[in-house]
Amino acid sequence: MEIIIKATVAEAEQEVAAIMARQVRLKPSCTLGLATGSTPIGVYACLVAQHAAGGLDFARVTTFNLDEYVGLPADHPCSYRAFMREHLFSKVNVSPKHIHFPDGTASDIPAHCAAYEQAIRKAGGIDLQLLGIGRDGHIGFNEPSSSLASRTRIKTLTPQTVKDNARFFGSEAEVPRHVITMGVGTIMDSRQCVMLATGEGKADAVARMAEGPITADLPASILQMHPVCTLVIDSAAAARLKRRDYYNWVYENKPLWQRTGTV
């Protein structure tokens, strides 16, 4: 796992946006896996700015979002569709027919989840998956104890995640208890994973993910097994890492051809 530590949240967001923009430029018909939550908002703002400046074309890009709340229709203001519309899709030229979400209102959830997996396969798999991390180490909504080989399915949020996400809904009572999420195995099939984590509240999960044992108790730890995974963090989220100096050294000595500014 490559670990990039930036001094500020804004620099970390710019780094992730640069990695994503590079992917889009290298392969204009790429498939992106996208995340919601507070963390990627600044990344989407950077991508929107690059698009507005004429430097980034999403016309041929296909997207698959990681997750959606069960029971929330697409037009619900707290649905992840609404989130993505607000922060990215209404501001760049992604074609609506290339946008995919789990459907939280599907009547046959297992069949819908199987169809979502099939749609990802049909699109040729995910080239780059953007990830955040929960304070309990979840990726997508694969909460602790999730199978590390899991596929898209229904999951029950932990009380902690319900509490963490209440800020979007107004109260804990309004947060749905169930979600449809890509599985850990689905995420691991992506050709590249890029995780952004910022703030001291993520420092413990980040350290356990990058330097602890691989365990279903912290689903994000499986990313240690991913062949092309980059973790981008600000200095607050890096606070508990043991090998910070080495990660900085690796980044400073990165070969020119591997740097994001090159494409």
The CA R_g of the chain, rounded to the nearest whole Å, is: 17
Residue closer to ligand F6R, measured from CB, 160 or 248: 160
Q: Does 67 bind ligand F6R (CB under 6 A)?
A: yes
Catalytic residue among 87, 112, 138, 226: 138
Q: Examine the residue annotation and report whether 136 is marked as an active-site residue of this protein.
A: yes
Q: In angstroms, what is the minimal distance from the CB of 195 to ligand F6R?
A: 9
Compare residues 38 and 156 and give the one whose CB is closer to ligand F6R: 38
Considering the candidates 68, 117, 127, 143, report the single residue annotated as catalytic.
Answer: 143
Burial profile 156-187: b = 16 or more Cβ within 10 angstroms, e = fewer: ebbeebbebbeebbeeeeebbeebbbbbbbbb
Binders in 76-135 for ligand F6R, by CB under 6 A: 132-134
Reply yes or no on whether 204 is catalytic. Answer: no
- Give the position of tokens 């929960």: 134
Q: Which residue among the candidates 13, 15, 51, 67 is catalytic per the annotation?
A: 67
**107, 173 in Cβ contact below 8 A?**
no
Could you confirm whether 226 is annotated as catalytic?
no
In this structure, the number of other CB atoms found within 10 A of the CB of residue 203 comes to 21
Q: Are 23 and 192 in contact (CB under 8 A)?
A: yes
Catalytic hit among 15, 68, 103, 136: 136
> Does residue 179 contact residue 67 with C-beta atoms inside 8 Å?
yes
Q: By C-beta, is 3 or 42 nearer to ligand F6R?
A: 42
Q: Is 108 a catalytic residue?
A: no
Are the CB atoms for 112 and 103 separated by under 8 Å?
A: yes
- Per-residue x/- track, 25-64, ligand F6R (CB under 6 A): ----------xxxxx-------------------------
139 binds ligand F6R (CB under 6 A): yes
Burial class (CB in 10 A: 0-12, 13-18, 19+), 215: middle
Active site residues: 67, 136, 138, 143
Residues of this chain that bind ligand F6R (CB under 6 A): 35-39, 66-67, 132-134, 138-140
